[in-house]
Amino acid sequence: MHLHLKYLIELQAVDLRLIEIRERLSRFPKRLAELEARVTGARHQITTAKEALTGSLKDRKTYEMDVEQWKERAKKYRNQSSEVKTNEAYKALQHEIQNAEDEAAKAEDRLLDRMVAGEEYERHVKAAEAAVKQVEAAANVERQTIQAEYNAAQKELTGAEAVRAGAVAAVPEDLVDHYERIAKRHGGIALAEIRGEGCGQCGVHIRPHVIQQLQRDGNEEFFHCETCTRVLYYADHAAAQASASAAPSAPAHES
Ligand SMILES: [Zn+2]
């Protein structure tokens, strides 16, 4: 196998890792935004509950004034009753008094409802405040987790970039260009392992001649898939070659 192909296989492996790491890194802003949205949403619940409570207190004030006004009016009519001269006028006044007292009673009922509802609104505010505390505590933990994951991913990225630089340095520049051109067109994957008798990436059948050539020891030629144009390689062959060159050479024994 061509020596440079071995480095291209390394380059491909690290590039796939880089794609995965960058993809993971790109998700962090969204994860953080979702986290903050959850906290903001919970805080908004407090605002809504407080607004409802304020509205309820305002209504209460209005109904208190209604009660006062109707009671005031009834009192005024009662005071006038000693001054009326005719039976007719007296009856009319009695009617007004009754009406004012009825209205005062109704206003008092409304006021009582409001006061009961007001307690409910206060409970809502307290519940919302408690919920925010929980959401914020959970968010703080999650933020730290996300931050730690982000730092780890950044570290992985730096490591993988260094590995890539090493692989790139071992290959002639024009071959790296060739590799990158193919990778750019094919979702970052410039190499295709031969599986069975087909291209491991696009699945097209590879001519036996090409397979034979690739399997031949000392082959110095690059072959491309005729359909997807990726550089073809044999994974077994590459592994065998790598372990053979890594292991100390020992004479083979016939048994
Ligand atoms: Zn192919």
pLDDT, tens only, 125-136: 999 999 999 999
pTM confidence score: 0.69
Instruction: Calculate how far, in angstroms, residue 201's C-alpha sits from the geometric centre of ligand 1.
Output: 5
The CA distance from 165 to 148, in Å, is 26
User: Amino acid identity of 221?
Assistant: E
DSSP string computed for 62-100 = HHHHHHHHHHHHHHHHHHHTTT--SHHHHHHHHHHHHHH
Neighbours of ion ligand 1 (CB under 5 A): 199, 201-202, 225, 227-228
Task: Give the pLDDT band (50/70/90) at residue 1.
Answer: low
pLDDT in tens, 3-62: 788 899 999 999 999 999 999 999 999 999 999 999 999 999 999 999 999 999 999 999
Instruction: Calculate how far, in angstroms, residue 224's C-alpha sits from the geometric centre of ligand 1.
Output: 8
The CA distance from 93 to 80, in Å, is 8
Instruction: Calculate how far, in angstroms, residue 190's C-alpha sits from the geometric centre of ligand 1.
Output: 10
Instruction: Calculate how far, in angstroms, residue 218's C-alpha sits from the geometric centre of ligand 1.
Output: 23
The CA distance from 205 to 225, in Å, is 9
- SS3 assignment, position 13: helix
Q: Which residues pair with 205 in a beta bridge?
A: 198
3-state SS of 133-162? Answer: HHHHHHHHHHHHHHHHHHHHHHHHHHHHHH
Instruction: Calculate how far, in angstroms, residue 111's C-alpha sits from the geometric centre of ligand 1.
Output: 80
Instruction: Calculate how far, in angstroms, residue 230's C-alpha sits from the geometric centre of ligand 1.
Output: 6
pLDDT in tens, 151-177: 999 999 999 999 999 999 999 999 999
